[in-house]
Amino acid sequence: MNGFFNILKPTGMSSAAVVAVMRRLTGEKRVGHAGTLDPEAAGILPIMTGKAARLFDYLTDKEKEYVAVCAFGSRTDTQDATGEVIETGDNYPDRENVIRAAAELTGDIRQVPSMYSAIKVGGKPLYARARKGETVEVPERTVHIESIEVLRDMPEHGIEIRVRCGKGTYIRTLCEDLGNKCGCPAHMRSLLRTRSGVFTIDEAITLDEARTLAETGTLTERMLPPDWPLSHLLRTDMPARMSKRVINGAKIPLTALNSPDIGEDQVTRVYLNDQFWGLAVRQGDELVWKAQIAPEETEESKACE
């Protein structure tokens, strides 16, 4: 089973636990996830199975979208609702104040995530150090916020927001920053990831749905092909005379291609007879394989066995 599953992770479950469920349902040993979600968060978690795991580094996961509830009135040590309250205040902002603060937090901004984040310092995640009572300086980072849309007021001084951002953004840190801008302590009450690259929530399936499909033997019907999230990469169709080289994973001279317009170090999707065979990169006058994903039991591959 070489492909991707667009899974809707529930609240209270770790990303690793979702992988374990999908490994059991698919019967595939090679299963991984792209873009970790905290256990308290829900939303899109792309799952890679089989040889598709080799494609992880080439996914377009830089563009993400979240819907979160920012709760004003208290700040916590984890920046979310699971932490200990370390500051309170009652200078609750109105909608217009939040909109103005959100505008100041768009574009490239600097963030200082919580000590309970997954950022590694000295080879160890910060949350692991925090749980041991250690205190280290949390590195500041630059992240990109495309937009913050204020959606609606929520109970108990909460405001629901939609955030479109780049990779590495901590939404709980953004909620705390909104509080600082508004002059009122704040934390993230809830989080739902609605988009991760090309994976969107309207096309996702729940784990319960995945279990039902597995029981009826139809789980593969919801598996996305390995090249599905790679459309942002150049496509190269191999001429039939290159079949043996493609199947054997050999280097391919650019002079053999019908349209060799590939830049140096450029990664391209490789197709043979309209079937995806993996990714290759131009090195000098040749294409060198980066990740080969041979189609299942093609006549050509059988002939070369």
Q: In angstroms, what CA-CA distances link 89 with 94, 97, 138?
A: 14, 16, 25
Question: In the structure encoding, which two tokens stand for residue 33, read together?
Answer: 């996830």
Q: Label residues 258-282 b or e (16+ Cβ within 10 Å = b).
A: eeeebeeeebbbbbbeebbbbbbbb
Question: In the structure encoding, which two tokens stand for residue 286, read together?
Answer: 């040749």
* Chain position carrying tokens 């700040």: 75
Give the residue from 254, 280, 276, 255 showing the smallest Cα distance to 268: 280
Inter-residue contact 191 to 43 (CB < 8 Å): yes
User: Could you list the active site residues?
Assistant: 38
d(Cα 206, Cα 222) in Å, to the nearest integer? 11
Helix (H, G, I), strand (E, B) or coil at 51: helix
